[in-house]
Amino acid sequence: MISLTSYLIISFCLFIAGMTVMIARKNIIAMLLGIELILNAAAINFVAYTRFVNQNLDGHVMSLFIIVIAAAEAAVGLAIVIRFFQIKETIHIDDATELQS
Amino acid sequence: MFLKIMFILAATMTLGGAFLTAYTKNLMHACVYLLVSLFGVAGLYATLGADFLAATQLVVYAGGVVILMLFAIMLTGGIQNFVNKFGLDKVPSMGNGKTYTIAGLSMIITAFIIMKVLAPIFKTNVQGELPAFASTVEEIGVLLVTDHVLAFEISSILLLGALVGAAVISRPRRGK
């Protein structure tokens, strides 16, 4: 029951949920939540392959870097969102049209 | 047996939290469901024998990222106008039926393609004795300063840049 396939399927469903969030939501913070889900799906894959296939800990180190990068991305992304809110008083993604011609 | 119960519990938390994040209408609730999902991922790491990674996941995500997101939601919530600058109706910020239909359709297509491409990978059955759980902290520490030392240093510079960048970007500008 606890096999590589079950972990891969969990990670796949997590990725699907994250992509659904990123497509369906129009709120920038909600889209950042989707990015967190997708990054976690990738990290689960690394750890599952480490456990079931090659047993050296490079996958764990890679997951650790994924966590670090997710934290940095969340900090900068939320700073941009707060700055955007100070300027436009909204966080709707369709209002971010400054660079459209 | 205990491992199996833990696995089912963690998988339920992960998937339930993820899909509630995708379908709840309240942004604050979505953030709390994301917290549930991240706890579930930490449980999955624990069932895979990655003790250090499970602890790091709990500390960084539950203690850092989700709290940061809750603060950002509370700082930016409230104002919501339902028409855009052309006077047309705007899609509500948490999505409506149309955006969910688009997302669902494209996800079905993506799932189909991924299943087609990855079918041999899903079928790989790795047999053989799994090693017993052992502490991974020491080995990860050694790996971080020997094999992966360049990535380690680069990630420290990345964190410094993120810190300074976040402070500079979100600072209110004066005299303008």
For B167, name the nearest residue in chain A, comparing CA atoms only: A79
Q: What is the pTM of this model?
A: 0.88
Instruction: Identify which of A11, A15, A4, A5 has the alpha carbon closest to the alpha carbon of residue A51.
Output: A4
Q: Which of A65, A60, A67, A32 is nearest to A45 (CA)?
A: A60
- Closest chain A residue by Cα to residue B5: A2
| Residue with the two structure tokens 């096999």 | A3
Strand partners, B89: B83
Q: Does A13 contact B at CB distance below 8 Å?
A: yes
Quote the CA–CA distance of B124 and B91 in Å, as a whole number: 44
Measured between CB atoms, which of A57, A75, A82 is closest to B143? A57
What are the chain B neighbours of A73 within 8 Å (beta carbons)?
Answer: 162
Best interface-test mutation with B: which of A12, A78, A90, A95 has the largest number of B CBs within 10 A? A78
Q: From the CB of residue B126, how many other CB atoms can be counted at a distance below 10 Å?
A: 13
Cα angle A60, B133, B42 (rounded to 5 degrees) comes to 50
- Cα–Cα nearest to A64, from B7, B39, B152: B152
Dist CA B105 CA B14 (whole Å) = 23
Q: Which fold has domain B1-79?
A: Four Helix Bundle (Hemerythrin (Met), subunit A) (1.20.120)
Q: Could you give the CA distance from residue B152 to residue B146 in angstroms, rounded to a whole number?
A: 10
Domains of chain A, start order: 4-94 (1.10.287.3510)
pLDDT value at residue A88 = 79
C-beta separation of B132 from B51 below 8 A: no
3-state secondary structure of B153: helix
Per the CB < 8 A criterion, the answer to whether A21 and B17 are in contact is: no
Interval A48-73 mean pLDDT:
88
Question: Closest Cα of chain A to B1: distance in Å?
Answer: 11
Would you call B147 an interface residue with chain A, using a CB distance cutoff of 8 Å? Answer: yes
Q: What is the pLDDT of residues B133-153, one digit of tens each?
A: 778 888 889 988 998 899 999
**Residue B83 main-chain phi, psi, to 5 deg:** -120, 150
ipTM for the assembly: 0.90
Q: Is the confidence at residue B79, as pLDDT, over 60?
A: no
Q: List the Cα angle B130/B117/A50 in 5-degree steps.
A: 20
Whether chain B has a CB inside 8 Å of the CB on A58: the answer is yes
**pLDDT of A39 above 90:** yes
pLDDT tens by residue, B1-45: 888 899 999 999 999 999 998 888 888 888 999 999 999 999 999
Cβ separation A76–B169 shorter than 8 A: yes
- Residue B10 has phi, psi (to 5 degrees) of -65, -40
Question: Percentage of chain B with pLDDT > 90?
Answer: 28
Q: Give the mean model confidence (pLDDT) for residues B56-85.
A: 81
The number of beta carbons lying within 10 Å of the beta carbon of residue B167 is: 11
Q: What is the pLDDT of residue A41?
A: 92
Q: From CA A96, how far away is CA B160, in angstroms rounded?
A: 27
CB pairs under 8 A between A and B: 227
Q: State whether residue A21 sits within 8 Å of chain B by CB.
A: yes
